[in-house]
A and B are shown apart, each in its own frame.
Chain A
Amino acid sequence: MAKAARIDTRLMQEGRRGNGALNASIGLGLVSGWAVIAQAVCLAQIVNGLSIRHGTLAGQAPWFYALAALFLFRAALAYAAEIAAFRAASGIKTRLRGALLAHLFARGPLAAAGEASADIAATLLEGVEALEPYFSRYMPQMALCVAVPLAILALVFPLDLYSGLILLIAGPLVPLFMVFVGYRAEAINQRQWDKLLRLSTHFLDVLQGLTTLKLFGRARDEIAIATRISDDYRRTTMAGLRVAFLTSAVLEFFASLAIALVAVLFGARLLHGHIDFYRAFLVLLLAPEYFVPLRGLSVHYHARMTAIAAARRMFDVLDAPAPPQGSLILPRQPYIGITYTELSFSYDGVKVLDRLNADFPAGKITAIAGASGAGKTSLARLLLKFSVPDSGHIILNGAHDLKDLAAEAWWPMLAWVPQNPRLFHGTIAENLRLGRPGATLEALRVAAARARALDFIEALPDGFETRVGDGGAGLSGGQIQRIALARAWLRDAPLLIMDEATANLDEASESEILDVLVELAEGRTIVLIAHRLAVAARADQVLVLQHGRVVEAGPPAVLLAGNGPYRALAEAHGEVPCAS
């Protein structure tokens, strides 16, 4: 619970940044609450005057007019309070979403790799949305809960001591009891939120894999699994709700009982003329109003629990530290040479690179070969500054340690084509312009032609303006790869890092693209992570990686003539020339 209280404090800090919109909505609610009391006085005067004093209708006219005016006033207040509450909540939502996404970017792609993207999206959307009732309902209600009942008590005590005492005792019992049951409800609620996330992740997973499920004849089985998960969800949620409903039932019980008690006690005294009707009727009118804010609290208490559970996830994201960043701003280097010295790196507790030494000379194509898991991808990730080495250095142009460099200064010097390139929602042209927003259509055409993508793009009905969907839906793997290559070339960077970038191409296209790559290498440093030796064969030098170390380095032809690990790789590929 201490933790929930801390989250409350942090949420209220968020609320205070809302430029007073939150205070305005609370203030408007309070005035409206007090107007209800004035309204009850008017009504009691009318009924007392007519029913008991047998007055004339005309005699009550001033009270009728006052009542009509109060009603109008309250309508205006209600509207203004709603708008103020929405403004307060939406300001907070916007700020939180911005901060969360910015922090995710600061943490980099590897921090998010462990989590399902649907989970993160749900936290940013539904999670943040779940905070709205906290700010627009729960917090204003908290203020009403104190101010309105106190005002009513202040009015009732002088009118009738007994009723005042009944209300005084019944009122605090309600929040007290709610806090008592609330602890358990909160724990249950946390579980429910986790389930909701799992449910949405599960459904996305099932839908993405629906074809695979059908291939295994298991698609129908998922119905039973979906039913089971839904049932689990129902049971845990109902467990939470049963408690939440119990708190409101208790509240209703106290409220109803207090009203009944007030009525019966008044009845007994009225019967014997010990008290006058006006006072009794006014108290009876006010008694339900006394409980209205408290009742609202119980409704919105659930909103608070949902908000706290959601906020916990958000603060977890915000509190996770971003990797240390260098601050050195370096002008764009025309040539880039890189040296790895004694570099060690572990990922998920497994040592991937072990005191590795390597040299990537400027203006040359360097291929990295080696079996899966030899550390090829980690080597690239470190160069991209997505990870920080455990020890050792990556030296840029013999002068700067990469870890001192600001990422924002480093990234503009490179272009990266990952193993599975991502196409974003938008047109092909927008995707190509990712790294050069101002590129002309002519520049796009040149880059696309180089990546052998121009023909298929122009064959599409909308050409460069064709919209691509989620992960490039509608395009083949090879087409996505070519667009990614065109995107990289459009970037025109002195360093090009390609992670098995021709993996989805057939051999003919791969060969064409490698030809272009050799053209492009003029003046550029290229790092190729090679699965196929056709790729490595075009390089100026090959580094062969084994168990996180470079075991062999040199021009491919020389290595092939030798009898080392590269030769063994080549033989495995069946690519050894006939002469051998």
Chain B
Amino acid sequence: MRELMRLVKLFNPYRRWMLGGLALACATILANFGLMVLSGWFLAATALVGLASYAAQNAFNFFTPAAAVRFFATLRVGSRYAERLVTHEATFRLLAALRVWFYERLEPLAPAALQSYRAADLLSRIVADIDTLSLFYLRVYVPLLTALIAGLLMAGFFAIFSWPAAVALLVGLALTGGGAPLLSAWAGAQAGRAAVRESAALRATYIDAVQGMGELLTYGAAPAMLARAAAGNERLIGAQAHLARLSGASMAVAGLVTNYTLLLVTLAASAKLAAGHLAAADLPLLALGTAAAFEAVAPLPAAFQYLGQIREAARRIFALADSPLAVAPPGMPAPVPQGYALVLENVSLRYAPDAPWALRDVTLTLPEGSHTGITGPTGAGKSSLINLLLRFNEFQAGEVRFGGHDLRAFGSADMSRFVTVISQRSYLFHTTIRDNLLLADGTASVEQLWHALEVAQLADFVRAMPKGLDTMVGEGGAKLSGGQARRIALARAVLRPTPWLILDEPTEGLDMITERDFLRDLAPLLQGRGVLCITHRRAPLALMRRVYKLAQGRLACHAKLT
């Protein structure tokens, strides 16, 4: 329930849309109820008058009820159409709001808190869970409140004619709309969770299969992967079958209760009629009214099923959104740095209180405009040093100063204004080369983009493509070679003359000719800005003035390579 309250609170800015949809939904139900009740009474009343004297026929007001019948018929059509438009419009607005909210929560958590989440899993979470959450209004909120409001009003109307009939209707509505589905929702909660889980697992399997197809085929593992996918599908179908059985039983029971309520109301009214306490025309009124009243609770079984899924999705989304921040954001705007020198004194960093130190007592001065190389084997703490400087991870001991201020006064967004990173992991978005470059500088002109590509030695390649700058790079840059992808990262750095440039294994995966050319063209870019180059290869270090060696989190002085 706590999750649902939080969800409703998130939706608060849209409450006008939400209440408007609810009012229209009630009007629709009541209009149909009015149409059927009035028609039933009208037929019986006219039939009874028809059997009576001619004078009675003349005295009977035919036109008011006839007009009211047509009024209810028209009202129902109009309000139903408006209700659907309003509720769906509201749902999409809620969906957009949820996505933005979630992204805003997620963004500061990256990359530290996200490392344990798999990409395919995240996709499932965001697309499916957020979609599920946005259905809360349409599938739960509106049907539940409509059933409650309209149900009470209709039972109140029945009470004018017969208390037992009103009670029977109210109990019938409650059992059909509340009892049967709640029971099956309770029974189906686990199956609902299983269905969401199995669906996410199956998606991960499919992504494995598609992305690893070459290896699966050549290693003869394709049949095993097909079998794994088939087994995953069976598990998903199994969870869905459980839900289908429950919904079938719930539907059958609900139908049964509805019909027996009709039977009870008819019996109650018949008894009162036989005893002479009820007008004859009121029996068909109540009978037809009962049938119409159940329209209000028809969507409730689905609503309760959604409720289970929504709570599951909400729990996961909120859990992720509430993950602790790796770095506490600075309380006030970042100070203006006095110069760009970076000074580390006895700095230690680890990723968890029980994890080994990734950096231990590191003391390092990086004067403004200096060119420093850090070398060392894999796992020596080179990446941790970058994460520390970019404010992605917090250091636990020592002091770091940037431009004369404590580094803790800067958030990762502040640091990104001063630092550009060229990395093996620089991500290429599934869009055009142009958009991937504009990421570095949204205001760059076409000439600037081409200049950046020239410097990055990619211009010839892009020019040769039929679509030029508008060539799509494929998922994760799949349509480019490793070298070409790196050069896009270089071109981005050209577009972004920040005081610091961090080269994170800049030539990893490049052949040596390309590496040589890459470094040759990189060299002029380094002039006038500070450079921190982290690599285990020798060639990039030749561009650095000082080189340190990092091993097991500790920094050792290292002779300048010549």
Within the complex, the shortest CB–CB distance from A21 to chain B, in Å, comes to 12
Nearest opposing residue in chain A for B203, CB measure: A121
Which residues between 353 and 384 of chain B lie within 8 Å of chain A, taking CB atoms? 377-379
Complex Cα spacing A202 to B390, Å: 26
Within the complex, the shortest CB–CB distance from A125 to chain B, in Å, comes to 6
A270-B287 contact in complex given A227-B100, A504-B508, C-beta closer than 8 Å: no
Scoring A residues 17 to 48 as 1 if CB is less than 8 Å from chain B, else 0, what string do you get? 00000000000000000000001000100110
Within the complex, the shortest CB–CB distance from A205 to chain B, in Å, comes to 5
Stretch at the interface among A67-75, A171-179, A514-522: A67-75
Are A284 and B413 in contact, CB atoms less than 8 angstroms apart? no
Within the complex, the shortest CB–CB distance from B326 to chain A, in Å, comes to 12
Which residues between 88 and 108 of chain A lie within 8 Å of chain B, taking CB atoms? 90, 93-94, 97-98, 101-102, 104-105, 108
Within the complex, the shortest CB–CB distance from B344 to chain A, in Å, comes to 20
Q: Which of B80, B204, B281, B492 contacts A249 (CB 8 A)?
A: B80
A238-B89 contact in complex given A211-B427, A256-B73, A277-B43, C-beta closer than 8 Å: yes
Are B255 and A199 in contact, CB atoms less than 8 angstroms apart? no
A271-B50 contact in complex given A386-B214, A504-B509, C-beta closer than 8 Å: yes
Total number of A-B contacts with CB less than 8 angstroms? 448
- Asked if B40 is at the interface of the complex by the 8 Å CB criterion, the answer is yes
Scoring A residues 187 to 217 as 1 if CB is less than 8 Å from chain B, else 0, what string do you get? 0000000000001111111111111111111
- Asked if B256 is at the interface of the complex by the 8 Å CB criterion, the answer is yes
- Asked if A449 is at the interface of the complex by the 8 Å CB criterion, the answer is no
A57 neighbours in B (Cβ, 8 Å): 267, 270-271, 274
Within the complex, the shortest CB–CB distance from B463 to chain A, in Å, comes to 14
Stretch at the interface among B234-242, B335-343, B401-409: B234-242
A252-B76 contact in complex given A270-B47, A373-B481, C-beta closer than 8 Å: yes
Are A422 and B208 in contact, CB atoms less than 8 angstroms apart? yes
Which residues between 316 and 374 of chain A lie within 8 Å of chain B, taking CB atoms? 371-373
Nearest opposing residue in chain B for A251, CB measure: B77
A425-B204 contact in complex given A57-B271, A211-B427, C-beta closer than 8 Å: yes
Are B280 and A108 in contact, CB atoms less than 8 angstroms apart? no
Within the complex, the shortest CB–CB distance from A378 to chain B, in Å, comes to 11
Which residues between 499 and 523 of chain B lie within 8 Å of chain A, taking CB atoms? 508-514, 516
Nearest opposing residue in chain A for B119, CB measure: A470
Which residues between 468 and 521 of chain B lie within 8 Å of chain A, taking CB atoms? 474-476, 478-479, 481-484, 492, 496, 508-514, 516
Are B237 and A105 in contact, CB atoms less than 8 angstroms apart? no
Q: Which of B92, B123, B273, B440 contacts A216 (CB 8 A)?
A: B440
Stretch at the interface among A1-9, A142-150, A229-237: A229-237
Are A104 and B218 in contact, CB atoms less than 8 angstroms apart? no
A577 neighbours in B (Cβ, 8 Å): none
Q: Which of B106, B217, B245 contacts A407 (CB 8 A)?
A: B217
A117-B260 contact in complex given A218-B439, A271-B62, C-beta closer than 8 Å: no
Complex Cα spacing A267 to B425, Å: 79
- Asked if A523 is at the interface of the complex by the 8 Å CB criterion, the answer is no
User: How large, as a class, is the contact surface on chain A?
Assistant: 35 or more
A415 neighbours in B (Cβ, 8 Å): 218-219
B74 neighbours in A (Cβ, 8 Å): 256
A260 neighbours in B (Cβ, 8 Å): 35, 39, 69-70, 72-73
Are B516 and A573 in contact, CB atoms less than 8 angstroms apart? yes
Complex Cα spacing A47 to B265, Å: 12
Complex Cα spacing A284 to B120, Å: 55
- Asked if B561 is at the interface of the complex by the 8 Å CB criterion, the answer is no
Nearest opposing residue in chain A for B69, CB measure: A260
Are A238 and B413 in contact, CB atoms less than 8 angstroms apart? no
A209 neighbours in B (Cβ, 8 Å): 427-429
- Asked if B443 is at the interface of the complex by the 8 Å CB criterion, the answer is no
Within the complex, the shortest CB–CB distance from A274 to chain B, in Å, comes to 8
Scoring B residues 37 to 62 as 1 if CB is less than 8 Å from chain A, else 0, what string do you get? 00110111011111100000100101
B528 neighbours in A (Cβ, 8 Å): none
Are B39 and A259 in contact, CB atoms less than 8 angstroms apart? yes
Among A60, A82, A93, A211, find the residue whose CB has the most chain B CB atoms closer than 10 A: A211
- Asked if B159 is at the interface of the complex by the 8 Å CB criterion, the answer is no
- Asked if A461 is at the interface of the complex by the 8 Å CB criterion, the answer is no
Scoring B residues 86 to 116 as 1 if CB is less than 8 Å from chain A, else 0, what string do you get? 0011001101100110011011001100111
Are B47 and A207 in contact, CB atoms less than 8 angstroms apart? no
- Asked if B284 is at the interface of the complex by the 8 Å CB criterion, the answer is yes
Are B248 and A223 in contact, CB atoms less than 8 angstroms apart? no
A134 neighbours in B (Cβ, 8 Å): none
Among B244, B274, B413, B512, find the residue whose CB has the most chain A CB atoms closer than 10 A: B512
Are B233 and A94 in contact, CB atoms less than 8 angstroms apart? yes
Complex Cα spacing A258 to B36, Å: 12
- Asked if B121 is at the interface of the complex by the 8 Å CB criterion, the answer is yes
Complex Cα spacing A458 to B115, Å: 22
- Asked if A572 is at the interface of the complex by the 8 Å CB criterion, the answer is yes
Within the complex, the shortest CB–CB distance from A279 to chain B, in Å, comes to 10
Nearest opposing residue in chain B for A272, CB measure: B50
Are A230 and B96 in contact, CB atoms less than 8 angstroms apart? yes
A500 neighbours in B (Cβ, 8 Å): 482, 509
Complex Cα spacing A317 to B478, Å: 20
Among B43, B226, B429, B509, find the residue whose CB has the most chain A CB atoms closer than 10 A: B43
A72-B256 contact in complex given A46-B270, A117-B207, C-beta closer than 8 Å: yes
Within the complex, the shortest CB–CB distance from B458 to chain A, in Å, comes to 11
Complex Cα spacing A171 to B509, Å: 69
- Asked if B149 is at the interface of the complex by the 8 Å CB criterion, the answer is no
Stretch at the interface among A151-159, A472-480, A551-559: A472-480
A214-B107 contact in complex given A234-B92, A372-B483, A372-B484, C-beta closer than 8 Å: yes
Are B430 and A205 in contact, CB atoms less than 8 angstroms apart? yes
A219 neighbours in B (Cβ, 8 Å): 107, 110, 413
Q: Which of A222, A257, A533 contacts B103 (CB 8 A)?
A: A222
Are A121 and B210 in contact, CB atoms less than 8 angstroms apart? yes
Are B73 and A372 in contact, CB atoms less than 8 angstroms apart? no
Are A257 and B483 in contact, CB atoms less than 8 angstroms apart? no
Are B42 and A47 in contact, CB atoms less than 8 angstroms apart? no
Within the complex, the shortest CB–CB distance from A263 to chain B, in Å, comes to 4
Within the complex, the shortest CB–CB distance from B410 to chain A, in Å, comes to 12
Scoring A residues 406 to 441 as 1 if CB is less than 8 Å from chain B, else 0, what string do you get? 011001101110110110110000000011010000
Q: Which of B119, B280, B428, B431 contacts A52 (CB 8 A)?
A: B280
A237 neighbours in B (Cβ, 8 Å): 88, 92
Are B283 and A82 in contact, CB atoms less than 8 angstroms apart? no
Within the complex, the shortest CB–CB distance from B372 to chain A, in Å, comes to 19
Are A372 and B211 in contact, CB atoms less than 8 angstroms apart? no
Scoring B residues 213 to 250 as 1 if CB is less than 8 Å from chain A, else 0, what string do you get? 11111111110111001100110010011001101110
- Asked if A137 is at the interface of the complex by the 8 Å CB criterion, the answer is no
- Asked if B209 is at the interface of the complex by the 8 Å CB criterion, the answer is yes
Are A238 and B511 in contact, CB atoms less than 8 angstroms apart? no
Complex Cα spacing A268 to B291, Å: 24
- Asked if B416 is at the interface of the complex by the 8 Å CB criterion, the answer is yes
Among A82, A267, A281, A478, find the residue whose CB has the most chain B CB atoms closer than 10 A: A267
- Asked if A266 is at the interface of the complex by the 8 Å CB criterion, the answer is yes
A284-B40 contact in complex given A50-B283, A214-B110, C-beta closer than 8 Å: yes
A421-B283 contact in complex given A210-B106, A260-B39, C-beta closer than 8 Å: no
Complex Cα spacing A199 to B287, Å: 49
Complex Cα spacing A556 to B40, Å: 99
Scoring A residues 118 to 149 as 1 if CB is less than 8 Å from chain B, else 0, what string do you get? 10110011000000000000000000000000
Complex Cα spacing A11 to B88, Å: 29
With A470-B120, A476-B378 already in contact, 13 other A-B pairs whose C-beta atoms are closer than 8 Å: A93-B237, A211-B110, A215-B390, A216-B439, A237-B88, A257-B73, A271-B60, A421-B215, A422-B212, A474-B115, A503-B508, A504-B508, A532-B512
For the complex of A and B, the 4 pairs showing the least CB-CB separation, nearest first, are: A82-B248, A422-B212, A470-B118, A234-B92
| A-B contact list, 23 entries, CB within 8 Å | A51-B280, A52-B48, A79-B252, A98-B230, A104-B213, A108-B217, A115-B475, A212-B427, A216-B492, A217-B417, A245-B81, A252-B80, A271-B46, A271-B57, A277-B47, A280-B47, A372-B481, A407-B217, A415-B219, A434-B219, A470-B120, A504-B509, A506-B377
